[in-house]
A and B are shown apart, each in its own frame.
Chain A
């Protein structure tokens, strides 16, 4: 391995950064929060996080504005949770209240997806996709744009309240609030037609719930993303505790590889010349300075770590400058780490000696374990994946095989039956025809079983019969009061009960409901 000239190594910026949770001083119970000024990081994980931020925020803000033509009887918004009409529109899928299990199923999938991702690649949710992470990142961009990077911000914060400082602070908080309003504003568009709501919202004519929602989400976005930041993850969020339990020794976690980093030294050249054991870590604190959680990953895995990998980027940048291999801080599994540690410490017999992990030419020895993608596909991950796929397939099957025509029948409870003057017995039913497509239809409602029974639809001039053609409104429930009468002589038939059948003659969609027919015991 090539050793770069000393002046190159000297160009590494050393930072006076200290983790907020440093083990050496115990924090008093009422100690004020220690502010964190994350430094800007550069590198592949940072670029990936920009991409994730762009995609997630893009989806969040743009989705309500996608139009979807469903004809004149249904809203033309692609994703719409229509609470007042109790409909949920998702592109070509329309969900009725009784089909809410689809949403529950999606939530189950989201849960198992989280288990799957966590067991495979650690707390990726926390580090990349969690809204708290995304919005804090966004807020930090604003802060950095207005107040400068870490050192400038620290100076500004420590300095007196000059006009300059006030101006910057007002600008920052104002933009944060605008982002907060936009966040809350985007949320309400999922629940009503977006262009209409935007107009009425601007004209101060939207429902109070809309203003309340925007106010609450503005407040939470501003407070959580701008003011509280890492405290939300550390003190408020229950998920890190749960997530930690889903990791095992084969999950990827951000790891400081102290088997090659220790003993760290700020004056590596001098120390090496003096014959001391020197690792790759030059103790520049870059990893601490970029950490949005204010921790030192070199202290090992910590509850606060959201595995955003910015310390990896920072450290890789330093290693590049020093001309050493990247990966002093890297995504690694605990088992790989332990194996490498065993190598560096001679099975734990000695303290870390990074010379053990390198051969004569400076390259790593053959026994060093690097991350291998195959270890991700272990049984635990496959089981999660299997469950996730099964739930997904089940939902898909339910979706493609579901009925868009449904029949609900309620037998009259009071009275249970009515004896007519000719001795025949009449039962009343409330029939609900659910036309779950946004098109007008003619549905044939017919009686099955009990050949002598006939029915009559209350309030309609169609008279008695066994089959009626009923016009049903698009996307609506049509309620019909139906009386079924069985002649006295045929009451024995009533034992078998009747069925109501609804059928769309054009599409042959159908639904059958088996109903009881009640009669006085003496009429048997």
Chain B
């Protein structure tokens, strides 16, 4: 193919590249110049970019780039900007009481939003992301409060925890284990009585003996009417909410060897403003008093 660079296609009048496969020749239609220049420009761009920004992976870290850009620094700057924007609200929350914060609608809304995110970080592990709790973990949406549902009372509970060793102001209550004090039949009778308080039909014969047993053993903490006492953190037994499980067997289990939940004291861990935000958020869930 001596003339391979000279060959001109007859039909189109265009040079061929000299490439030939089974008699088919490739027309020499180069790419448009603007396209080629654009391509060169992208290469140039890539080189400049690689110099200006972190790009080449080295043994321990990537090259720094002459502009000194880093995405971490950018995030840090954004975070500090966000913190600065919240500063005045946080200051006001720190300097006011829960009651005063509740009185300011704008500040209250801020506290609720801040509390909601703090709740997901610190509280959702036990109380659930929606605050609905579970067996042994109180539902924070309902209207039963072991230690009180006013914002200040909620604040106190969060700040110092429940049965948290090492905090002098922690909420403490303990139910005695009745396994040694009452016989199995007596436990069953008491449970039957407690269940009957909520309107669920139970064995009438057992209920009668149960009532006497309740008055003798339980009324001191749970009250004669079984409505509980916030002073001792004694739950209301005459309502529809059961922290340790529903039904006679759950009640018997709890009487025999009571389980006691523990909530950490949060004041030292997350600070006073966040505890205030959490208290206001929990109060806003719908059951606050």
A30 contacts across to B, CB distance below 8 A:
33
> Who on chain A is nearest to B227 by CB?
A421
In the complex, are the beta carbons of B141 and A422 less than 8 A apart? no
Interface residue? B240 (CB, 8 A): yes
Q: How many A-B residue pairs have CB under 8 A?
A: 54
Known: A26-B13, A458-B284. A418 touches B142 (CB 8 A): yes
Which of A26, A421, A459 interacts with B236 by CB under 8 Å? Answer: A421
Contact A428:B132 (CB < 8 A) given known A29-B29, A30-B33, A420-B240 = no
How far, in angstroms, from A419 to B243 measured CA to CA in the complex? 12
Per the bound structure, the CA–CA distance linking A418 and B140 in Å amounts to 9
Q: Contact partner of A418 among B129, B139, B198, B236, CB < 8 A? A: B139
Q: Distance (Å) between the CB of B124 and the closest chain A CB?
A: 10
Does A415 interact with chain B (Cβ within 8 Å)?
Answer: yes
A416 to B: closest C-beta gap in Å? 9
Report if A426 contacts B (CB, 8 A): yes
Q: Does A61 contact B (CB under 8 A)?
A: no
Q: A26-B13, A29-B29, A488-B240 in contact; A418/B132 too (CB < 8 A)?
A: yes
The smallest beta-carbon distance between B145 and chain A, in angstroms, is 9
B211 on interface, CB distance cutoff 8 Å? no
A420:B132 contact, CB within 8 angstroms: no
A98 interfacial contact with B, CB 8 Å: no
User: B130 in the interface, Cβ–Cβ < 8 Å?
Assistant: yes
Size of interface on B: residues with Cβ below 8 Å to A: 24
Per the 8 Å Cβ criterion, residues 140-175 of B in contact with A are: 141-144
Contact with B along A420-435 (1 / 0, CB 8 A): 1111001010000000
Q: Is the CB of A421 within 8 A of B144?
A: yes
Most chain A beta carbons < 10 A, residue from B141, B142, B198, B284: B141
Q: Classify the secondary structure of A's interface with B.
A: loop
Q: In the complex the two chains form, what is the Cα distance from A355 to B133 in whole Å?
A: 101
B186 at the A interface (CB under 8 A): no
Q: Determine the distance from Cα of A404 to Cα of B98 in the docked complex, in whole angstroms.
A: 40
- Specify which of A414, A418, A483, A488 lies most central, judged by the most chain B CB atoms within 10 Å of its CB: A418
Cα separation A306 to B142 with both chains bound (whole Å): 73
Q: Is the CB of A428 within 8 A of B142?
A: no
B287 CB contacts on chain A under 8 angstroms = 418, 420
Taking a contact as CB atoms under 8 Å apart, the answer to whether B130 and A419 are in contact is: no
| A420 B13 Cβ-Cβ under 8 A | no
Interface digits, A471-489 against B, CB 8 Å rule (1 contact, 0 not)?
0000000000001000010
Q: Does B253 contact A (CB under 8 A)?
A: no
- The answer to whether B30 and A419 touch across the interface, beta carbons within 8 angstroms, is no
Contact of A414 among B33, B132, B143, B236 (CB under 8 A): B132
| Chain A CB within 8 A of B272 CB | no
Q: What CA separation (Å) do A488 and B241 show in the bound complex?
A: 13
Please judge, given known A-B contacts A29-B30, A421-B144, A421-B241, whether A415 and B130 are in contact too, CB under 8 Å.
yes
Is the CB–CB distance between B132 and A421 below 8 Å? Answer: no
Q: Could you tell me the distance in whole angstroms from the C-beta of B110 to the nearest C-beta in chain A?
A: 14
Asked whether A428 lies within 8 Å of B241 as measured between CB atoms, the reply is no
- Residues in A neighbouring B142, C-beta threshold 8 A: 418-421, 426
Chain A interface residue count: which class? 10 to 19
Beta-carbon nearest neighbor of A418 in chain B: B141
Shortest CB–CB separation between residue B234 and chain A, in angstroms? 14
A412 contacts across to B, CB distance below 8 A: 130
With an 8 A cutoff between CB atoms, is B32 at the interface? yes
Nearest A residue to B105 via CB reads A459
A29-B32 CB under 8 A given contacts A421-B142, A483-B286: yes
Report the bound CA distance from A488 to B239 in whole Å. Answer: 12
Is B29 touching A415 in the complex (CB atoms < 8 A)?
no
Assembly CA distance A421 to B286 (angstroms): 13
B-side contacts of A488, CB under 8 Å: 240
Does the CB pair B240–A421 fall under 8 Å?
A: yes
A414–B284 Cα distance when bound, in Å, is 14
Find A421's partner among B32, B105, B239 (CB 8 Å cutoff): B239
Query: Is B131 interfacial (CB-CB < 8 Å)?
Result: yes
Chain B, range 257-289, C-beta contacts under 8 Å to A: 284, 286-287
Known: A423-B240, A488-B240. Is A418-B13 also a contact (CB below 8 A)?
no
User: Closest Cβ of chain A: how far from B286's Cβ, in Å?
Assistant: 5
Contacts of A428 in B (CB 8 A): 286
Q: How far is the CA of A483 from the CA of B141 in the complex (A)?
A: 11
In Å, the complex CA distance between A139 and B241 comes to 81
Over the window 74-116 of chain A, the binary record of Cβ atoms lying under 8 Å from chain B Cβ atoms (1 yes, 0 no) is 0000000000000000000000000000000000000000000
Q: A420–B33 Cα gap in the complex (Å)?
A: 76
Q: Are B241 and A415 in contact (CB under 8 A)?
A: no
The listed residue with most A CB atoms (<10 A of its CB), out of B130, B198, B236, is B130
Chain A: minimal CB distance from B249 (Å): 16
User: Shortest beta-carbon distance, A12 to chain B, in Å?
Assistant: 37
Closest to B132 in A: A415
Interfacial chain A residues near B240, Cβ < 8 Å: 419-423, 488
* Closest chain B residue, CB of each to CB of A424: B240
Which residues of chain B come closer than 8 Å to A423, judged between CB atoms? Answer: 198, 239-240
Which residues of chain B are near A421, meaning CB under 8 Å?
142-144, 236, 239-241
- Known contacts A26-B13, A29-B29: A418-B286 contact under CB 8 Å: yes
Roughly how many angstroms separate A29 CA and B144 CA in the complex, as a whole number?
84
How far does the alpha carbon of A29 sit from the alpha carbon of B30 in the complex, in Å?
Answer: 9
Chain A contacts for B143, CB-based, 8 A:
420-421
Nearest opposing residue in chain B for A522, CB measure: B246
Rounded to whole angstroms, the CA-CA distance of A44 and B139 in the bound complex is 83
Tell me, in angstroms, the Cα distance from A26 to B128 when the chains sit together.
Answer: 77
Please report the C-alpha to C-alpha distance between residue A415 and residue B139 in the assembled complex, in whole angstroms. Answer: 10
List the A side residues contacting B33 at CB < 8 Å: 30
Residues of B within 8 A of A459 (CB): 105, 284
Given contacts A26-B13, A420-B240, 13 further A-B pairs with CB under 8 A are A29-B32, A414-B128, A414-B129, A415-B132, A418-B139, A418-B141, A419-B241, A420-B287, A421-B236, A422-B240, A426-B141, A426-B142, A428-B286
7 contacting pairs across A/B (C-beta < 8 A): A413-B130, A415-B139, A418-B132, A419-B241, A420-B240, A426-B286, A459-B284
The 7 closest A-B pairs by CB, nearest first: A414-B130, A421-B239, A415-B132, A423-B240, A418-B141, A415-B130, A421-B144
